[in-house]
Amino acid sequence: MIAEAGLAALWLAAALCGLQLVFGIMALRSDGTGAVNAIRPVAIIQGLLTVFSFAMLVWLFMRTDLSVELVAANSHSAKPMIYKFSGTWGNHEGSMLLWVAILALSGSLVAMFEKRLKERTLTATLAAQAAIGLGFYAFLIFASNPFARLSPAAVEGRGLNPLLQDPGLAFHPPTLYVGYVGLSIAFSFAVGALLTRDVGPTFARAMRPWVLASWIFLTIGIAAGSYWAYYELGWGGWWFWDPVENASLMPWLAATALLHSVTVLATRDALRAWTIMLAVVAFSMSMLGTFLVRSGVLTSVHAFAVDPQRGGFILALLIIYIGGALALYATRVSTVREGAQFEFMSREGALVANNLLLSAILGIVLIGTLYPLGVEAVTGEQLSVGPPYFNATAGPLALLLVAAMAVGPLLRWRRDSWRNVMNRISLPVLITALALMALVFLASPIGILPMLGLMLAAGVAAASIAPLWKRNLRRTPMFIYGMVIAHLGIAVSMAGMAFESAFSEEVLVASAPGETHQVGPYSVTFDGTRPVAGPNWTAIEGGLTVQRGDGDPFVLAPQSRMFSSPQTETNEAAIRTGWTGQLYTVLGSTDGNGRSQLRLWYKPFVTLIWFGALLIALGGLLSLIGRVRREKRAMEREAWA
């Protein structure tokens, strides 16, 4: 009965969603007062029902109920409990249910907590959220029902893709999804504001926390995904420009741009039409990513079971929602009054530069992701667009962007003078120059991008702290700290990337037991291999005794695993993290004469990449808390006045 309860909850939620849309339309056609009070509970109950439905699916997976088709196809009774749990969303139907649950829950949260927005605009926003919801409920119920029964029940499940049997997977997709789908709120806000022509600072202040929250989750999700690929795929790289990675990067780029333009709108009432556009684009990129991954149009390590019918369904939803929003934009935005004006040399100017550069990078990633598809559709030829294209095009723009980021916070709103600006950025510029000299004299020749990256990282780190200069640190608002930490995080992350690409050392050997290899500061002795077994896999494990200089030796044990169901091999890298870098070891195949392939990397400061990303997310969090607190205080003041 668990499956039936889950499905019933889903149908009920879909019905409430329809009701929410009808209420919203009726309210907008009349004067709309009071409708919010009717819509709010509907949205909240709808969210709770989808969460209940998702909980039922989790329960089915935990029990390994093999009378449910989805469980039989993706789970296995011998699987460790945590992967039974995370297996719930390691497949198409489960992950779409998670998607819809987050969508409905986002609507509930807006219904519960949004007090700032004008009532009419809020009604329109919730109606837009319901319109999105309806399409995805239909997709779930008619084309991807996760609760379908299997009769007769299977004797044993087929198992979960071993690459996905990893603790990282338990949290990476849900985090990313919260970010993706959270952007639906920004989209609905934009549509709502277009419908009621209510685009201004109040609207921007109301929208900002929601965008910030989604953006924090996106940031963490992308960083976690990158680290997962880094240690689980055993290729030693941290970003592959894989289409699915790009699909998560694109909403992040759009959301980052939106985050900054919404601040301009909130503070200076400028960039109205542009902010609306970005809000539409950000969620469109989320939906596009879902389409690309779920339709099977893309070939990638992430492509799960595919079905062109589903692709067609999602494409139809894309056309309706994105097309509808853009048509609304085209007809309505010209009636939105133009915002305030500003000079190029100003905070707004720097933020516009930030937005243009982010959009350009977004365009580059979008084209690079879709180009192979286009070429194949037209000529049938297969090609892949990889790091050479992305690094050469997005790399320089990213460096420019970071430079703009360093200067931006040091500029005044509205207008600033060149001389004052020069004054304020002199110290960061000096530090950049010093870093350049240090690199030229102390380091062996390195590539131009890593060189610029390291230089800029030093300068940007200094510049990002500079806004705190001469401020009363105790009275500085929390969101300023948020900005400082997030920007510092960019510098830290960039330093990690540049270090990794400039100073990594790699050793690839066919090693006999007893041989010692030197990589970076580590000497690695191969002790031989032995078989080991886990709950649902067997493995060849390599023994490595590692010593750093005269330090204490330690043992690393990389594995080459064979999973029993389904049969797949994976490489489990063994990694040692030190203060100055990581030693990354992978065991390859054995050649039959007792020699084993070993891949050893020394990657100095590589962990800074993800540490920086965490700083960025932390900055976002501080900013969110600071903003929400300030809004709350402002509202209390208004209530008293």
Partner 1 sequence: MGMTGDTSTIAPEKPPSRRLLLWVPLIVAAVFFGFFGYALYFGNSSPQQRAIESQLIGEPMPEFSLEPSLPGRPGLSSTDLATGEPRLLNFFASWCVPCIAEAPQLMQLRDAGVQIDAIAVRDRPEDVYAFLQRWGDPYQRIGADMQSEAQLALGSSGVPETFVVDGDGVIVHQHIGDIRPEHVPEILAALENAQ
Q: Interface residues with partner 1 (CB under 8 A)? A: 31, 118, 120, 196-203, 269, 277, 280, 284, 291, 295-299, 303, 306, 308, 311-312, 315, 318-319, 322-323, 326-327, 329-330, 333-338, 370, 373-374, 376-377, 380, 382, 562, 567, 569, 589-593
Residues 262 and 275: beta-carbon distance below 8 Å: yes
Smallest distance, Å, CB 339 to partner 1?
9
Smallest distance, Å, CB 200 to partner 1?
3
CA distance 189 to 549: 59
Does the N-terminal peptide bond of residue 174 adopt cis geometry, omega within 30 degrees of 0?
no
With respect to partner 1, which residue has the nearer C-beta, 249 or 539? 539
Smallest distance, Å, CB 318 to partner 1?
7
What count of residues does the chain have?
Answer: 641
Backbone angles phi, psi at 571, to 5 degrees: -105, 125
With respect to partner 1, which residue has the nearer C-beta, 9 or 288? 288
Smallest distance, Å, CB 373 to partner 1?
5
Smallest distance, Å, CB 198 to partner 1?
6
Smallest distance, Å, CB 331 to partner 1?
8
CA distance 257 to 361: 11
With respect to partner 1, which residue has the nearer C-beta, 88 or 295? 295
With respect to partner 1, which residue has the nearer C-beta, 374 or 396? 374
CA distance 451 to 445: 9
With respect to partner 1, which residue has the nearer C-beta, 180 or 274? 274
With respect to partner 1, which residue has the nearer C-beta, 362 or 495? 362
Residues 577 and 496: beta-carbon distance below 8 Å: no
Backbone angles phi, psi at 344, to 5 degrees: -65, -45
**Please, which residues have CB within 8 angstroms of residue 326's CB and are 6 or more apart in sequence?**
280
Residues 266 and 631: beta-carbon distance below 8 Å: no
Smallest distance, Å, CB 512 to partner 1?
15
129: nearest Cα among 44, 10, 56, 251 = 44
Burial (0-12, 13-18, 19+ Cβ within 10 Å), 590: middle
Burial (0-12, 13-18, 19+ Cβ within 10 Å), 168: middle
With respect to partner 1, which residue has the nearer C-beta, 216 or 253? 253
Burial (0-12, 13-18, 19+ Cβ within 10 Å), 289: buried
Cα–Cα distances in angstroms (integers) from residue 489 to residues 12, 252, 440, 605, in the given order: 44, 16, 25, 14
Smallest distance, Å, CB 463 to partner 1?
34
Smallest distance, Å, CB 345 to partner 1?
25
With respect to partner 1, which residue has the nearer C-beta, 84 or 205? 205
Smallest distance, Å, CB 233 to partner 1?
16
With respect to partner 1, which residue has the nearer C-beta, 461 or 587? 587
Sign of CA dihedral 562, 565, 570, 575: negative
CA distance 563 to 338: 61
CA distance 107 to 188: 9
CA distance 627 to 477: 9
CA distance 525 to 516: 4
With respect to partner 1, which residue has the nearer C-beta, 299 or 501? 299
Smallest distance, Å, CB 549 to partner 1?
36
With respect to partner 1, which residue has the nearer C-beta, 100 or 298? 298
